Structure 1
Amino acid sequence: MDLGTRKILDRSFTAVGVTSILLMAIALLVVIVPIFSKGAGAIFFKGTIEHRKLQYNEFRKGNPDVLQQQITETDSYRNKAFSIIEAFEAEMEGMEPGEKKKEYTSQYTSVRKILAHLLGPLPGDMEPILLRYQYGATRWEKAEEALHDLMFVTKWDYSDPTKMATQYFVPRADEFAGTALADLFPYMENNLEKMLLPEQTFYWGFITERSLDAHIFGGIWAEIQGTFFLAVGAMLFAFPLGVIAAIYFTEYAKDNFFTSILRSANSTLAGVPSIVFGLFGLAFFINTMKVSESKSVLAGSLTLAIMILPTIIRAAEEAILAVPKTYKEASLGLGSTKWRTIVTVILPAALPGIITGGIISLGRAAGETAPIIFTAAVSVGATIGLGDVFNSPTPALSWNIYNLASEHEAANEIRHVQYGMVLALISIVLLLNLSAILLRARISQKLKG
């Protein structure tokens, strides 16, 4: 191959490599940027007076005197809306029974439901049992969405059979034209901000507080703690076993059929789908070994440990093999035993690579969902103590993200919680990987002297 052709090929491969890196970076940004922007909305948002009421009543956070002053201020505007409602209800009582009254009753039911979502229970309503109905809109963006639903009725145009139905909006005030309720709609549009008093809020409690009413309100501390318990528990089991297995493979195992079977088994385990580990954990650790009566942190940690064990073994094995053979020869030449050489010479030199593989495996354990579905995770639960890990299940970020996004009855109402959980999980994994890089650099520097 002549020099010109070689240069063209080198430049072509370089261009392809750079382009691939750029495309991967762009794809990563497309995924990460929305997660960070929308996830931050769980902590930074415009909170209403309803949010401040909730925080004081449930967590005793906030200034009660300022809160009472704001409640008094908002009540003066709310009472005007309630008086319009009372006037319309009195007007309906005086109507003759018929289709018109029946139509008003149906339409008015929707209006009251939206108003209750905005302002909380209305006069005449029974005391709600669920917390989600005891307060109005706690976030200003949700209040604006509810106001739009109050002001307009969504309808669909099916007149053109060749096209998909077209969505359009009809002012709801038209349905109540000529009645006392017609005045409610412009009043709510002009005074909603005075009724809810939105303020820019930094809600650190999203990280540190417990969830309320199935994550409609509150924070995600139980999920963060559960993720930590499961991941650290998995490492307590998998890391020492993985390092010992790697030492056996590199320093003691002979090249025979038995060793080949073990290496093949380790490689095969690394490629097994994670849901299989979850089913194995249920069948073996819970149903056979009886490590707990049902789901528990211990069963989940053991399942995750089996899943990440092949990765730790492989990383530790490669780190040990990367240690120069002269280190081992020098130690043995000075009269040291084989085991002492491994402990005092080889393992310290291989420590950066071993720790890196361990922390990367820790990050994987923190982000797995399938292995803990059947062994450890629950959708809703309180924080647990160290003494409860042997017999109690726990919420976890990975499982609750899936559960809130796909199975929660109010999934569309709590998108900020879903994105906040994803942001928390990604942040934890990134911090673990960053700590691996920093720890590896620090240990390498110390070994170099």
Structure 2
Amino acid sequence: MNLGTRKLLDRSFTALGIGSIVIMGLALLVVLFPIVTKGVGAVVFKGTIEHRKLLFTEFHHGAARELEKEVALSSNYRQKAFDMLASFDKELEQMPPERQDQYRDSYEQVKAALRALLGPLPGEEQPELARFRFGQTRWDKAEEKLHNLLYEQKWDYSNPDVIAKPYDVSRAASFAGTSLVRLFPYVEENIDKMMLPEWTFYWGFITDNSLDAHFFGGIWPEIQGTIFLAIGAMVFAFPLGVIAAVYFTEYARDGFLTSMLRSANSTLAGVPSIVFGLFGLAFFINTLHVSESKSVLAGSLTLAIMILPTIIRASEEAILSVPKTYKEASLGLGSTKWNTIVTVILPAAMPGILTGGVISLGRAAGETAPIIFTAAVSVGAAIGLGDVLSSPTPALSWNIYNLASEHEAAAEIRHVQYGMVLALVTVVLLLNLSAIILRARISKKLKG
């Protein structure tokens, strides 16, 4: 191969590599951009007076005096709307039965829409669930509920060749000639004064417990549970993985048993994660009884088994990359084999070993299937260190799936789902960053 051809190939491969990096970066940006923008919306948004009432009542956040003033101001405008309902109630009672039947269903829909917007109507009992005790806490949702109050959705089936199309019909037209017709323009014109929206930085989304199945509150239990599970998995897997790698590289002789162990390790690395979850349930919980049911301990052990092959393989490669002269020099000076491994080989291989640990830590924090059967619950409070041996925990990965696919009001809490995804990405990045910093410091110390 002549020099010109070699230069052309070098430049081609360089351009291909740079292009691949750019494409991966753009793909990552496409994925992360909606996660970041919509995830931030869980913390920074326009909150209504209902949100401030909720925070003060349920989480004791906010100033009582300022809240009282806002509630009084909002109540003045709301009362006029409630008076219109009371006036129509009296008017409805005086109507003939056939006219009452004409308005009854539509009137119940109006009250339901107003109840969803402002909370329970005067004279109604306070519901048990927080989602029904308060009106809309976010301004964007309040605007949606206002639209539902002003308009009724109907479907056009006139064209049999086209799928039915939805269209809106003004609710005010249904009450033409009655006193209730004044309600709709009044609410539309004064909705700002009824809800008092203002920009809010809700730091409690990170530090508060969830309320009413994540309709309100924060995700602290999920963040804490994810950290407990990831670190717990590393506590079990990292030392076992390094010890196994030392055995394979320094003590094991080539033979049938060693070959079988290496094959088993490689096979485990490709086993689907759901299988590890079922194994953890069957072995750690039902056989060893490390806990009576789901627990952080059982989940950590299951994750440890899952990431163990990666740590073993990465540690092997790191140990094998240490120059043989290091070992020969140590043994030549009279050091024992074990002392050489501990004081010479492992410190020199530690940056590579920690690299495998970083990769495994990120995988442990983001896995869902292994903890479904062993550790995760959909809703729960934050647990302490003393409870990790016996108590289950919420976790970000499982709760993201649960809220997005199984929650009864998944469309209503999209901001929580994106907020959890952003929190999970952040937790994984912070855990990895901590491990990378530790690796860098160890490398710097070894280089003197």
- Pairwise same-fold verdict (TM > 0.5): yes
Q: Does 1:429 align with 2:431?
A: no
1:391 — aligned with what? Answer: 390
1:113 — aligned with what? Answer: 112
Q: Distance in 1 between matches of 2:12 and 2:351?
A: 36
Q: Distance in 2 between matches of 1:13 and 1:346?
A: 36
1:275 — aligned with what? Answer: 274
Task: Tell me the TM-score normalised to structure 2 length.
Answer: 0.97
TM-superposition CA deviations, 1:250-296 (whole Å, max 9, x none): 11111111111101100100000000000001111111111111111
1:442 — aligned with what? Answer: 441
Tell me, yes or no, if the aligned pair for 2:295 and 2:374 is still in contact at 8 Å.
yes
Structure 1 position 364, deviation (Å):
0.8
Q: How many residues align?
A: 448
Q: Distance in 1 between matches of 2:184 and 2:210?
A: 34
Aligned ranges 1:2-401 → 2 under 5 Å? 2-98=2-98, 100-401=99-400
TM-superposition CA deviations, 1:221-266 (whole Å, max 9, x none): 1111111111111111111100100110111111111111101100
Tell me, yes or no, if the aligned pair for 1:360 and 1:432 is still in contact at 8 Å.
no
**Change beyond 3 A, Cα 1:361–1:103:** farther
Tell me, yes or no, if the aligned pair for 1:49 and 1:198 is still in contact at 8 Å.
yes
- What amino acid does structure 2 have at the position aligned with 1:126? E
SS of the residue aligned with 1:45?
strand
Task: Tell me the TM-score normalised to structure 1 length.
Answer: 0.97
TM-superposition CA deviations, 1:153-186 (whole Å, max 9, x none): 1222222222232222111211111111111111
TM-superposition CA deviations, 1:66-94 (whole Å, max 9, x none): 10011111110000000011111111111
Tell me, yes or no, if the aligned pair for 2:358 and 2:436 is still in contact at 8 Å.
no
Q: Distance in 1 between matches of 2:8 and 2:400?
A: 49
- What amino acid does structure 1 have at the position aligned with 2:270? G
Report which stretch shifted further, 161-170 or 417-426. Answer: 161-170
Structure 1 position 4, deviation (Å):
5.0
1:417 — aligned with what? Answer: 416
Q: Distance in 2 between matches of 1:236 and 1:8?
A: 50
Q: Distance in 2 between matches of 1:433 and 1:371?
A: 21
- What amino acid does structure 1 have at the position aligned with 2:181? A
Structure 1 position 219, deviation (Å):
0.5
Tell me, yes or no, if the aligned pair for 2:151 and 2:171 is still in contact at 8 Å.
yes
Q: Distance in 1 between matches of 2:219 and 2:349?
A: 38
TM-superposition CA deviations, 1:338-371 (whole Å, max 9, x none): 0001111111111111122112211111110000
- What amino acid does structure 2 have at the position aligned with 1:350? A
The percentage of aligned residue pairs carrying the same residue is: 72
Q: Distance in 1 between matches of 2:216 and 2:42?
A: 11
TM-superposition CA deviations, 1:381-432 (whole Å, max 9, x none): 1111122111111111110000011111111111111111100000011122
Alpha-carbon RMSD = 1.4
- What amino acid does structure 2 have at the position aligned with 1:34? P
Structure 1 position 6, deviation (Å):
4.5
Report which stretch shifted further, 80-89 or 17-26. Answer: 17-26
Report which stretch shifted further, 335-344 or 116-125. Answer: 116-125
SS of the residue aligned with 1:288?
coil
Tell me, yes or no, if the aligned pair for 1:209 and 1:219 is still in contact at 8 Å.
yes
- What amino acid does structure 2 have at the position aligned with 1:230? L
Q: Distance in 1 between matches of 2:251 and 2:313?
A: 16
Tell me, yes or no, if the aligned pair for 1:352 and 1:439 is still in contact at 8 Å.
no
SS of the residue aligned with 2:97?
coil
Q: Distance in 2 between matches of 1:435 and 1:229?
A: 15
SS of the residue aligned with 1:123?
coil
- What amino acid does structure 1 have at the position aligned with 2:439? R
Structure 1 position 16, deviation (Å):
3.2
Report which stretch shifted further, 268-277 or 50-59. Answer: 50-59
Structure 1 position 310, deviation (Å):
0.5
Structure 1 position 27, deviation (Å):
1.4
Q: Distance in 2 between matches of 1:235 and 1:405?
A: 29
Q: Distance in 1 between matches of 2:251 and 2:401?
A: 44
- What amino acid does structure 2 have at the position aligned with 1:317? E
SS of the residue aligned with 1:178?
coil
Q: Distance in 2 between matches of 1:86 and 1:162?
A: 46
- What amino acid does structure 2 have at the position aligned with 1:234? A
Tell me, yes or no, if the aligned pair for 1:237 and 1:305 is still in contact at 8 Å.
yes
Q: Distance in 2 between matches of 1:2 and 1:351?
A: 42
- What amino acid does structure 2 have at the position aligned with 1:390? L
Structure 1 position 10, deviation (Å):
3.9
Report which stretch shifted further, 429-438 or 289-298. Answer: 429-438
SS of the residue aligned with 1:343?
helix
Structure 1 position 3, deviation (Å):
5.0
SS of the residue aligned with 1:376?
coil
SS of the residue aligned with 2:381?
coil
- What amino acid does structure 1 have at the position aligned with 2:79? N
- What amino acid does structure 1 have at the position aligned with 2:41? G
SS of the residue aligned with 2:61?
coil
TM-superposition CA deviations, 1:317-343 (whole Å, max 9, x none): 111111111111111111000000111
Structure 1 position 12, deviation (Å):
3.8
Q: Distance in 1 between matches of 2:349 and 2:337?
A: 16
SS of the residue aligned with 2:289?
coil
Tell me, yes or no, if the aligned pair for 1:360 and 1:436 is still in contact at 8 Å.
no
Structure 1 position 101, deviation (Å):
2.3
Structure 2 portions without partners, runs of 5+: none
